[in-house]
Structure 1
Amino acid sequence: MTMNELAERYVKLTLAVGQHHDYYIDAYYGPEAWREQDKQPLGELLQLGENLHADLAKIDATNHEKSRHEFLTIQTESVLFFIKHLQGEQFSFDEESKALYDAISPTIDESEFDQALAELDDLLPGDGPLNQRMAVFSKQFEIPKDKLDTVFRAAIKESRQRTRQFIDLPTQENFTLEYVTDKVWSGYNWYKGNSFSLIQMNTDFPITIDRAIDLASHEGYPGHHVFNSLMEKHLVNANGWIEYSVYPLFSPMSLLAEGSANYGIDVAFPEHERIAFEKEVLFPLAGLDSSKVDLYYAVQAVRSKLSYIDNVVAKRYLDGQIDKQTAQQMLMKYALSSEQKALQRIGFIEQNRAYVINYNLGQDIVRDYVEQLSKGNAEKRWQVFSELLAYPKTASMMRH
C-alpha cells in the first residue's frame, strides 16, 4: 500500500462526496474517468473514508513524504466530517470549523469592536448612524460601472507583474475575466487546470476603488490563480501527487487558499506602494478625485479591526443564539453594512457556514507563519510565501 494508492482513493472518495453537494468540488483536473462514477450512498462513502483514514495511519511516511502524509490525513478527516454533516448530524460552529478547516476562531469581546467604531466616529464626517455615514463617504470612491473593466485589468496587470518578479509562474498561465450578478460573493476564481482560471466579479453592489487591487490580488496574483497553478505545477505534474488535483471547498485547503489570497494582497502591494499606485494609476482611470486617498486608507485601516465580526455573527447565528434579524442588525452596526449588503452576507453564511473563518483567521495564520520565517525581509517574504503555495500546509501544520 503506497501513498499514491491512498491518494487515488482519497480523490475518488472526494469526487463521490461531491455528487451529494453542488459546490463541494471547487476544482478538479485529474483523470476524467474518476469523476464518472455511479452515485454511492453516504453510508458507504463514510465507510470508505474510515477505511482510508485507518490505512493512512498504518503508513510510516519517509521524510520526503511526511508533510504529504500529514496533509492528506487532515484532509481525509475533513471529508469524513463533511459526510456526517451531509447525513444530518448537528455540530457547533467551533466543532465544524475545527473539523473542516483545522482551526477555531478566537473569542472576541464586542468592546473591541466598539472601540473601532469610536475611532471611525471621529474620522467619518457627518451625523447619523455610522453605516450610513460610511456609505456616503465610500460613494465618492466608487468605480463607475463603465470603467470597471479598465480599472480591474490595470490592477490585475500590475499584480501579475509584481508576482512574476518573485514567483516562477507557468508560461501558459492565463485567465478570463467576467462580470456577473446575483451572487453571495464579491469575486470568485474557478480554476480549470493547465494554469487557467475563470475569474468572476460580482457587480450587484457598487465597487469601491480599493477593491480593484483586493480582488485582482485575491482572485488572481498572487492569490487563488497562482495558488492553484503552483500546486498543479509542483505537486501534480512534477511529483505525481494526484490528491492535489482535487480541491474540496469545505476543507483545510480553503483556510490556506483564502488566508494566503488575503495576505498576498499585502505581499504584492506594501501599503505605501499600493497607495502610490492607486493615486497615480487607478484613481485617474476611474475618474476619481485622489485628494482624499490618505483619509480613505485611514478609514480602511480602522475598519479592518472589525473583520472578525463575520465570525462572531456566523457563530451566534448558526448556533441558534441569535435570529436572522439580530444577525443583520449586528452586521449593519459592526460591519457598517447597508441593509441589503448585510442580507447578502447572511446569505453567504447560510450557504457556506463556518467557511467565513478562512478569510480573517486564515489571513492571520498565514501572516504569522510567513513573517516569522521571513523576519521582515521583503524578498524572503516572497520566497516563504511562494513555497507555502507550492507545498501547502494546514493551519495546525503552520503552527508547529
Structure 2
Amino acid sequence: MDGAVVERYLRLGLQLGRHVDGIVDAYFGPPELAAAVEAEPAAEPRELVSSAEALLDELEEGWLRDQVVGLRTYAGVLAGEPGSYADEVEGCYGIRPVFTHEDVFTAAHEQLEALLPGDGPLGERHARWEQSIRVPTEQIERTIAAVIEEARVWTRRLVGLPDGEGVDLEIVRDEPWLAFCSYLGDLRSRIEVNVTLPMSAIELLVLTLHETYPGHHAERCCKERVLVRDRGLLEETLVLVPTPQSLVSEGIAKLAPEMLLEADSGAALAAVVHDAGIDLDLAHALAVGRALEPCGWADVNAALMLHEDGAREREVQAYLERWGLMTPELAAHVIRFLQEPTSRSYILTYKAGLELSRAYVAGEPERFRRLLTEQVRVGDLLEAGGGGAPTSSGV
C-alpha cells in the first residue's frame, strides 16, 4: 500500500477524533503525525467528508477502503447530512440493523424457564440466580487478575503471544460501559473494569476473557507484532470506533469466552472463581448464557426504538427489562450507552460480530488464530456465514 495513502488515512482518522472524544480507540503510529494533527485547527466535518471521498476514489476494494467508507459515513453524520440511524450503522460497519421480532425472545424465554425453575416472573428468577453467584466487589480485582493469568496460558498456546506483552488492571466506577481495553501500543493494554453494577461469577469470566485473552488485548498485540512490526502495515496502528474494524474486533472478543469456557480450559477458569468462594456450576451457567443469547438482539431493537422511532426512554427501559431480562439498573445503563456519541451505533457490533465470527471460525482454533493475526474483512465473515446478514436479527 502506498505510504502516502496510508498517511492520509491515519490523518483522516485522527482529525475525526478531534471532534468526538473516544472515536480513536487506540493510536500507536508515528507520534509526529499525531502531534501535527493536534497542532492544527480542527478540520470542519464537511472538509473531512471531502477528504474521505477523495481517498475512496484512489482505493481499490479491500480492508483499507472498508475503513474509509466507515469514516466517510461518520464524517457525514458530524456534518449533519440527512439519513436514518440504520443508514449510519450500515455505513460504518457494513451491516444494516433490522428489528428482531419478539417471537425470537419468547422462544429464548421458554428455554430459560426450564433452566431457571421456581416461583415468580422469569426476569426475577434470572436476577436471583445471578445474585446467587455474585462476586463481592472487594474480590473482583483479585479474581479477575487470576483469570487473566489462566487465560494468558491458553492464548499463548494458540497464537504464540509476543514477548513483552501484558495488561494493567484498573478498577473504575460510573462509566457508560462495563469494561474497557485501552491498547497503549508496545504490546501493552490498560484494562478498566467498572464495578458500579453488581457482577456475577459468569459475567466476570466472560468480561475478562472478552477484554484480555484471547479477546481485545490479544488481538491488538498480535496484530501489532504480525501486521505492524513484521509486515509494516501502519494502517493497523490506528483503531477507530465507527468502522468495520470494530465489528470484527467485537466479534473476536465476544467469541473469546466461548473458545475457552467450552473447552478443557473451562475447568481451570471455574476453579479460579471457586477459590474466591463462589459456587459456580459452569455447565449450567453456560447453558443459561446460550439460552439467553438471542435476547441480546433486544439491545439493537432498543437502539432502533430510540433513534429511528423516537421512543421515550421509559418505554425503551421497560422493553429491555421485559425482553432482555435486564434489571432496571442494567437497562438504564444500556440506555446511557446507546446515547453516547461513540456508542449509539456501536451496539450492533456485539451481536452481529459474534454471529459472523462464530460462523467464520466454525469451531476451528486455527481460524480463530487468523482473526487475531490477519486483516479479516466484514465481507469475509459474511461470506463464511452464507453471504447474508446474521440470521438471528429477524424472523
Give the alignment's TM-score, normalised by structure 1: 0.89
1:130–1:333 contact (8 Å) kept in structure 2? no
For the residue of structure 1 that corresponds to 2:8, the secondary structure is helix
Partner residue in 2 for 1:14: 13
For the residue of structure 2 that corresponds to 1:207, the secondary structure is coil
Q: How far, CA to CA, are the matches of 2:234 and 2:282 in structure 1?
A: 46
- The equivalent position to 1:306 in structure 2, one of 287, 295, 303, is 295
Q: How far did 1:161 drift? A: 0.4
Residue by residue over 1:362-395, the C-alpha shift from the partner in whole angstroms, topping out at 9 and shown as x without a partner, is 0111111111xxxx5xxxx222212222112221
Q: How far, CA to CA, are the matches of 1:219 and 1:311 in structure 2?
A: 21
Q: Within the alignment, does 1:27 sit opposite 2:26 as a pair?
A: yes
Pair 1:296–1:41, CA change in 2 (3 A): closer
2:99–2:300 contact (8 Å) kept in structure 1? no
- The equivalent position to 1:391 in structure 2, one of 345, 369, 374, is 374
Partner residue in 1 for 2:277: 287
Aligned residues: 377
Q: Within the alignment, does 1:218 sit opposite 2:215 as a pair?
A: no
**Percent identical residues:** 28
Q: How far, CA to CA, are the matches of 2:202 and 2:161 in structure 1?
A: 26
Q: How far, CA to CA, are the matches of 1:44 and 1:250 in structure 2?
A: 18
Partner residue in 2 for 1:319: 308
Q: How far, CA to CA, are the matches of 2:365 and 2:19 in structure 1?
A: 39
Partner residue in 2 for 1:60: none
Q: How far, CA to CA, are the matches of 2:304 and 2:264 in structure 1?
A: 35
For the residue of structure 2 that corresponds to 1:308, the secondary structure is helix
Pair 1:234–1:271, CA change in 2 (3 A): closer
* 1:244-255 → structure 2 map (5 Å cutoff): 244-255=236-247
1:180–1:201 contact (8 Å) kept in structure 2? yes
Q: How far did 1:149 drift? A: 2.0
- The equivalent position to 2:327 in structure 1, one of 320, 327, 338, is 338
Partner residue in 2 for 1:192: 184
Q: Within the alignment, does 1:356 sit opposite 2:355 as a pair?
A: no
Residue by residue over 1:139-171, the C-alpha shift from the partner in whole angstroms, topping out at 9 and shown as x without a partner, is 110011222122111211111100001112110
Q: Within the alignment, does 1:98 sit opposite 2:81 as a pair?
A: no
For the residue of structure 1 that corresponds to 2:346, the secondary structure is helix
Pair 1:86–1:294, CA change in 2 (3 A): same
Pair 1:115–1:272, CA change in 2 (3 A): farther
Give the alignment's TM-score, normalised by structure 2: 0.90
Partner residue in 1 for 2:392: none
Pair 1:298–1:244, CA change in 2 (3 A): closer
Pair 1:270–1:259, CA change in 2 (3 A): same
Q: How far, CA to CA, are the matches of 1:265 and 1:91 in structure 2?
A: 36
Partner residue in 1 for 2:388: none
* 1:1-400 → structure 2 map (5 Å cutoff): 3-36=2-35, 37=37, 38=40, 39-57=42-60, 70-105=62-97, 107-270=99-262, 273-274=265-266, 276-279=267-270, 281-290=271-280, 293-351=282-340, 352-371=343-362, 376=363, 381-400=364-383
Which of 114-123 and 11-20 deviates more?
114-123
Residue by residue over 1:264-317, the C-alpha shift from the partner in whole angstroms, topping out at 9 and shown as x without a partner, is 22223325652x3354x1342221234x55444433331123121111121222
Superposed CA RMSD: 1.8
Q: How far, CA to CA, are the matches of 1:304 and 1:212 in structure 2?
A: 17
Q: How far, CA to CA, are the matches of 1:245 and 1:123 in structure 2?
A: 45
Q: How far did 1:321 drift? A: 4.8
Q: How far, CA to CA, are the matches of 1:337 and 1:175 in structure 2?
A: 30
Residue by residue over 1:21-59, the C-alpha shift from the partner in whole angstroms, topping out at 9 and shown as x without a partner, is 1111000001112112212222222222111111224xx
Which of 166-175 and 320-329 deviates more?
320-329
1:144–1:286 contact (8 Å) kept in structure 2? no
Pair 1:130–1:17, CA change in 2 (3 A): same
